[in-house]
Amino acid sequence: MIITPRVRGFICLTAHPQGCEQNVVNQINYVKSKGSVEGPKKVLVIGASTGFGLASRITSAFGANAATIGVYFEKPSAEGKPGSPGWYNTAAFEKHAHEAGLYAKSINGDAFSDEIKQKTLDLIKTDLGQVDLVIYSLASPRRVHPKTGVVHNSVLKPIGQTFSNKTVDFHTGNVSEVSITPASEEDIENTVAVMGGEDWAMWMDALKAADLLAPGATTVAYSYIGPGLTEAVYRKGTIGRAKDHLEATAFTITDSLKDLNGKAYVSVNKALVTQASSAIPVIPLYISLLYKVMKAKGIHEGTIEQIQRLFQERLFAGADVPVDEKGRIRIDDWEMREDVQAEVAALWEQATTETLPEIGDLQGYRTDFFNLFGFEVEGVEYGTDVNEVVEVPGLV
Ligand code: NAI
Ligand code: NA
pLDDT tens digit at each of 396 positions of the chain: 999 999 988 889 999 999 999 999 999 999 999 999 999 999 999 999 999 999 999 999 999 999 999 999 999 999 889 999 999 999 999 999 999 999 999 999 999 999 999 999 999 999 999 999 999 999 999 999 999 999 999 999 999 999 999 999 988 999 999 999 999 999 999 999 999 999 999 999 999 999 999 999 999 999 999 999 999 999 999 999 999 999 999 999 999 999 999 999 999 999 999 888 888 888 999 999 999 999 999 999 999 999 999 999 999 999 999 999 999 999 999 999 999 999 999 999 999 999 999 999 999 999 999 999 999 999 999 999 999 999 999 999
Q: Which of 72, 80, 5, 83 is nearest to 45 (CA)?
A: 72
Could you tell me the maximum CA-CA distance found in the chain, to the nearest angstrom?
59
Q: Tell me how crowded residue 90 is: count the other CB atoms within 10 A of its CB.
A: 30
Name beta bridge partners: 218: 133, 263
108 within ligand 1 shell (Cβ under 6 A)? no
**CATH number for the domain harbouring residue 102:** 3.40.50.720
Measure 48 CA to ligand 2 centroid, in angstroms.
6
The whole-angstrom separation of Cα 74 and Cα 17 is 14
Domain-located, residue 272? yes
Residue 118 is part of which domain span?
7-149+193-280+300-333
How much is the pTM?
Answer: 0.98
Q: Between the CA atoms of 187, 189, 192 and 194, what dihedral angle is there, to the nearest 10 degrees?
A: -70
Domain total of the chain: 1
Question: Minimum-distance ligand to the CA of 274?
Answer: 1
Q: Is residue 1 part of a domain?
A: no
Nearest ligand 1 atom to alpha carbon 110: 19
* Residue 226 falls inside a structural domain: yes
Beta bridge partners of 166: 177
Instruction: Tell whether residue 305 is among the known ligand binding residues.
Output: no
How does pLDDT run across 157-193, given as a tens digit for each residue?
999 999 999 999 988 999 999 999 999 999 999 999 9
For residue 4, the model assigns a pLDDT of 96
Among 112, 118, 137, say which to mutate for ligand 1: greatest number of ligand atoms within 8 Å of CB.
137
Ligand nearest to C-alpha 220 = 1
86 CB under 6 A from ligand 1? Answer: yes
Q: Which ligand is nearest to the CA of 369?
A: 1
Atom of ligand 1 nearest to the CA of 143: 18
Alpha-carbon span 334 to 178, nearest angstrom: 28
Question: Any idea what DSSP says for residue 258?
Answer: G
CA of 306 relative to ligand 2 center, distance in Å:
13
State if residue 344 touches ligand 1 by the CB under 6 angstroms criterion.
Answer: no
- The three-class DSSP label of residue 348 is helix
Q: Is the CB of 113 under 6 A from ligand 1?
A: no
Determine whether the annotation assigns residue 173 to a binding site: no
Instruction: Report d(CA 195, CA 142) in Å as an integer.
Output: 9
Residue 318 annotated as part of some ligand binding site: no
> Is 193 known as a binding-site position?
no
Confidence at residue 277, expressed as pLDDT on a 0 to 100 scale = 82
**Ligand 1 contacts CB of residue 315 (under 6 A):** no
Closest residue by Cα to atom 29, ligand 1, is 137
Question: Is 138 touching ligand 1 by the criterion CB < 6 Å?
Answer: yes
CA-proximal residue: ligand 1, atom 12 (nearest)? 47
Residue type, 214: A
**The pLDDT value given to residue 276:** 80
Q: Is residue 389 part of a domain?
A: no
Measured distance between the N- and C-terminal CA atoms of the chain, rounded to whole angstroms: 27
Question: Does 265 sit in the ligand 1 pocket, CB within 6 Å?
Answer: no
Residue 275: predicted pLDDT: 80
**What separation in Å is there between the alpha carbon of 289 and the centre of ligand 1?**
22
Cα dihedral 134, 140, 144, 150 sign: positive
pLDDT at residue 214, as a whole number: 98
For residue 341, the model assigns a pLDDT of 98
User: Is residue 220 in contact with ligand 1, taking CB distance under 6 Å?
Assistant: no
For 209-247, b/e burial (b = at least 16 CB within 10 A) is eeebbbeebbbbbbbbbbbebbebbbbbbbbbbbbbbbb
For ligand 2, the distance from its centroid to the CA atom of residue 59, given in whole angstroms, is: 13
* Whole-angstrom distance, CA of residue 257 vs CA of residue 370: 41
Length of the chain: 396
CA of 86 to the centre of ligand 2 (A): 9
Ligand 2 centroid, distance to 208 Cα (angstroms): 23
ipTM of this complex > 0.95? yes
Residue 128 lies in a domain: yes
For the annotated catalytic residues, the residue numbers are: 234
User: In this structure, is residue 359 part of a structural domain?
Assistant: no
Query: Is 383 contained in some domain?
Result: no
At residue 225, the 3 state secondary structure works out as coil
In a domain, 82, yes or no: yes
How many Cβ atoms sit within 10 Å of the Cβ of residue 301?
Answer: 17
Rounded to the nearest 10 degrees, how much is the dihedral formed by the CA atoms of 237, 225, 47, 288? 100
